[in-house]
Chain A
Amino acid sequence: MIGPARVLRAAAALQIAQLSANLFMLFCVFVQPLFIAVTAMYILRHRPDFDPMYVVVGAGLSGLWSVALFDGTWAVQSERWQGTLELIAASPAPVMLVVGGRMLGSMAFSLLSMVVCYAVGAWLFGYELVVRDPLGFIVAFAFGLFSLWSIAVLLSPIGILWRTAARFLNVLEYPVYILAGFLFPILFLPGWSNPVSNLLPPYWAAVALHGTAAGTLSRPELMLALLVLVLASAIDLLLARSLLQMVLRAARRAGTLSLT
């Protein structure tokens, strides 16, 4: 395996091992999506056009977003607390690659929330879950996951650069659930918030996934959503790289790579 791929894989494996033992993460990935899915199922099934897959996707996305948000913000900080950030920074592996790999592990782990929500729909409620545009759905899922991953990578240097911002970032969990229209269309929100929604990659991921699951999204519309996701990801990753380099250089200048 060539160099970068090895680092990504090793970092991802490490992250999954760390997360499996982390109670908070287990909560984000199992408990919260479970409750949200069950609650939403009960509430939304009264709709004449009810599609259980809608709840599975929406609640699953909430788990994916929570993991991306929390892991992204705290991953590198936790390395610092553990004393391993110094070792990583001094190793030949680019820190961006290590962070990217860690977030890959996080996103892979977060897929469990999709599984949980699927289980809620299929087993707990006994619904038949259908994806009407399977190909479109798979593509949308891949792009959506990629975009969430790039947001997580971007959050790492932000979490360090602006320590107070990191605490505020955690508040963004539910607001994104709301603004991205995971479990209800954004037309239920005030008009002025719609442009904000349009700026959020998770919104486009939700549009693409909901639409392909229900089979109501035309190909051009899907293409648009995917384009937005790719563009957002590219911007996130470029920004992440610059910020990370900035953070590391500043840390080397000030001597704050470790806590001592």
Chain B
Amino acid sequence: MRLFAVNALYSYKALFRWQSPEAYVLQKMMFPLIQLTFFALIGQFGGSRPLAFYLIGNCIAVAFRPMFSITTAIADERNGGTLPFLIASPASRIVLFFGRATLHVIDGMFDIVVAFAFAIVVFGLRLPDSSLPGMALAVLVASLAACGMGFFLGALAYVVLDAVFLANVVMFALLLLTGANIPLSELPAPARAFGEALPLTHTIAAARAYAQGLELEAGLPLLIGDVILGLLWALGGFALFTLLEHQARRRGTLEAV
């Protein structure tokens, strides 16, 4: 249990390491809101969908933030040289992962809620009361699924080498391919298929449906689908980690990996 908590705190601390609190707050809180504003207004100018379409899509997509922070936290650990010790420790890997992820998931949920609050106050987004349970669930699922993706990216960054670059590219991919700004039906088939495999796509669809009055139960399949996707991506990351660690042990390059 202690390992769980320690890991969670450590990963979270990594976020604060190099920035002053003010800059951190500004960047962390404001950036998603400003980016949300940017795309929502383009959407409004485009006029093919109501503003709510773009607002909800981009709000849920703010889940890229916890994804980002997990990816960079793992990369930081690698740069700090502490990862080999983590891999070599006898502690259960699952516990480690969940420990790390939990704070990020909660952090992510907070970010998404702030985004929705912003959309409601500034853009006048209207969410019927009946939709709130579903929306809350969607927020949780979004953050969870994104964290799963983040874990995969953290592992991938060991091969691709620059975690921040990778995370930024994926952030844009999410905005483009998950239906946040463009209905999936408008995308060419290969892009659509990739979008379906990404986390957040189904959650965004569910959130939009809830906002239009769909009952909680009816949206559950979509949400569960995204949880499973998130889990699959996380397992993929897990597998990648194990593979890389295995290779590193063979080649004796545990630190360099």
Chain A–chain B contact at Cβ < 8 A: yes
A interface with B by C-beta (< 8 Å) = 23-24, 27, 31-32, 35, 38-40, 42-47, 164, 167-168, 170-171, 174-175, 177-178, 183-185, 188-189
Distance in angstroms from B47 CB to nearest chain A CB is: 6
Q: Does B45 lie within 8 Å of A188, measured CB to CB?
A: yes
Q: Would you give 17 A-B contacts (Cβ < 8 Å), ordered by A?
A: A23-B165, A27-B168, A27-B169, A31-B169, A43-B42, A43-B43, A43-B45, A43-B46, A43-B48, A44-B46, A164-B22, A164-B23, A167-B19, A168-B23, A168-B26, A178-B38, A183-B42
Chain B's closest residue to A186 (CB) is B41
B residues less than 8 Å from A43 (CB atoms)? 42-43, 45-46, 48, 181-182
B residues less than 8 Å from A178 (CB atoms)? 34, 37-38, 41
Q: Does B182 lie within 8 Å of A39, measured CB to CB?
A: yes
Is B142 located at the chain interface by the 8 A CB criterion? no
Q: Does B175 lie within 8 Å of A35, measured CB to CB?
A: yes
Q: Does A177 lie within 8 Å of B172, measured CB to CB?
A: no
Write out, one digit per residue, whether chain B residues 10-48 have a CB within 8 A of any chain A CB (1) or not (0).
000000000110110011001100110111011111111
Q: How many A-B residue pairs have CB under 8 A?
A: 82
Number of interface residues of B (CB under 8 A): 34
Chain B's closest residue to A46 (CB) is B48
Is B186 located at the chain interface by the 8 A CB criterion? yes
Report the separation of the CA atoms of residues A140 and B41 in the bound assembly, to the nearest whole angstrom: 25
Neighbour of B165 across the interface among A24, A164, A168, A170, CB < 8 A: A24
Neighbour of A42 across the interface among B30, B45, B162, B186, CB < 8 A: B186
Distance in angstroms from B89 CB to nearest chain A CB is: 32
Distance in angstroms from A11 CB to nearest chain B CB is: 27
B interface with A by C-beta (< 8 Å) = 19-20, 22-23, 26-27, 30-31, 34-35, 37-39, 41-48, 162, 164-165, 168-169, 172-173, 175-176, 181-182, 186-187
With A43-B182, A47-B47, A171-B30 known as contacts, the answer to whether A184 contacts B172 (CB < 8 A) is no
Report the separation of the CA atoms of residues A189 and B186 in the bound assembly, to the nearest whole angstrom: 27
Report the separation of the CA atoms of residues A44 and B169 in the bound assembly, to the nearest whole angstrom: 22
B residues less than 8 Å from A168 (CB atoms)? 23, 26
Neighbour of B176 across the interface among A24, A38, A170, CB < 8 A: A38
Q: Does A39 lie within 8 Å of B169, measured CB to CB?
A: no
Report the separation of the CA atoms of residues A167 and B23 in the bound assembly, to the nearest whole angstrom: 7
Q: Does B175 lie within 8 Å of A185, measured CB to CB?
A: no
Report the separation of the CA atoms of residues A114 and B35 in the bound assembly, to the nearest whole angstrom: 21
With A42-B186, A43-B181, A175-B34 known as contacts, the answer to whether A184 contacts B168 (CB < 8 A) is no
Q: Does B181 lie within 8 Å of A42, measured CB to CB?
A: yes
Q: Does B46 lie within 8 Å of A47, measured CB to CB?
A: yes
A residues less than 8 Å from B186 (CB atoms)? 42
Distance in angstroms from B200 CB to nearest chain A CB is: 15
A residues less than 8 Å from B20 (CB atoms)? 164, 167
Residue in B19, B38, B186 whose Cβ sees the most chain A Cβ within 10 Å: B38
B residues less than 8 Å from A32 (CB atoms)? 168, 172
